[in-house]
Amino acid sequence: MSNTTMTMGDVDKMFNTIKSDFETSIDEYRKHSENWFYGWALEMEQKVIINENEQAADSDDSEIEADLITCPLDGIITLVHCFEAEAFVPITGTPFKIQPVKKVPGIVYGYNYEPDGPAISGTIDDQGFAEVTLDQAYRGKQVRITFYPDVNESDMKAMLDSYDPTICKLSSWLDKEWGTQRKEWQIYVTEPIDVWDQIGKFMDDMLDAVIDAWDEIADLFKLLANPSKLAKKLSEYIENPELIAQKLASAKEEAEEMLTLIKDEARCFLCLNAVLSWFKLLSPLQILNLVSVSLSVILVEVVLSIIIPGGAILKNVNRLRDVADTATLVGA
């Protein structure tokens, strides 16, 4: 499609295609997660929870040996098996073994653990739970719990289906953004200029930028417990870093949600895909305005605008909102 022949009808069709492509993002996630080269970065994890103590493992692990725990004085051990995902998605029918153990001196040095009584076997139920009450003899003593998962296609489908609400939420965000972006395209269609070479290069650099951006976001979230360091890092992207850092430090629930996001590979993928879709909504004039700005910086800013508490004044993204300045930069 030539920029000299574009109409607003073409622009609206472009938006519908971008939005439709995004709404099938979870299928794209599955395809990318199976890629031999970088699929490991997108592979969802399973996790087991033993009396609120969590332990993660790769989704294809067939044995998970949890850390030793001390049997509670009431003897009750609650087990949960699920995906490490945004929503609770149980993994059902998983066999497990609870083995009472005792510490014994090692043959050469240190110590080992050996069985101290018969093992207790069971199976995770249809809700992803199991509750076992150990005999009085084991209360206050150490036990080792081993799970034997067999995550199948049905489990994976249930996990992927659980992201429908996230896709709907991000799709609505794209609709809202398009309300502004359509006006930018009207300016371009009225007075088109040839910037397609720059746009092509911009889009070609996108994949590397995505990798850099997510590494940066992961580093940001690791600083949630240190407001001063977090503010310094945020200052690269927003105008009011101290305010946002204070909000994050005091908003324990929001901070925990962000840390969960980092561990949820599928949701990470959906958020980044929404941001990439947002980039595709930018008019050629806006992209020209961004050529001198690091793509990864812009990606970080947009992701931050989606997931952090309100009030962040973004350095580069907010600049896009000023249509007059954009037009001036390109001599329109």
Contact 41/27 with Cβ under 8 angstroms?
no
Q: Is 32 exposed, middle or buried (0-12, 13-18, 19+ CB in 10 A)?
A: middle
Distance of CA 58 to the CA centre of its chain: 16
CA-nearest of 50, 115, 96, 102 to 76 is 50
How much is the pLDDT for 6?
A: 82
Question: Could you tell me the pTM of the whole model?
Answer: 0.71
Structural domains in the chain, CATH included, are 8-33+163-329 (no CATH), 45-152 (2.60.40)
How far apart are alpha carbons 116 and 96 in whole angstroms? Answer: 17
3-class SS of residue 258: helix
**pLDDT value at position 67?**
87
Contact of 299 with 316, CB cutoff 8 Å: no
Strand spans (E) along 119-269 = 120-123, 129-133, 142-147
pLDDT at 206: 67
User: What pLDDT does residue 23 have?
Assistant: 92
Q: What is the pLDDT along the chain (332 residues), one digit of tens a residue?
A: 445 578 999 999 999 999 999 999 888 877 766 654 344 445 678 999 999 889 989 888 999 999 899 999 999 999 999 998 878 999 999 999 999 998 888 776 778 888 888 999 999 999 999 999 998 988 889 999 999 999 988 898 898 889 898 899 889 989 998 998 999 899 888 887 776 676 666 666 666 676 677 677 667 666 666 667 777 777 777 777 676 666 666 655 655 666 666 667 788 788 878 888 888 888 887 877 666 566 677 777 776 666 665 555 555 555 544 433 333 333 33
- Among 115, 50, 110, which Cα is nearest to 79's? 50
pLDDT, residue 218, reads 66
Spatial contact of 30 and 41, defined as CB atoms under 8 Å apart: no
Q: What pLDDT shows up at residue 329?
A: 36
Distance CA 173, CA 116 (A): 57
Cβ neighbours of residue 192 closer than 8 Å, sequence gap 6 or more? 3, 4, 6, 284
Residue 251 confidence (pLDDT): 56
Counted residue by residue, the chain has a size of 332
Contact 42, 269 (CB under 8 A): yes
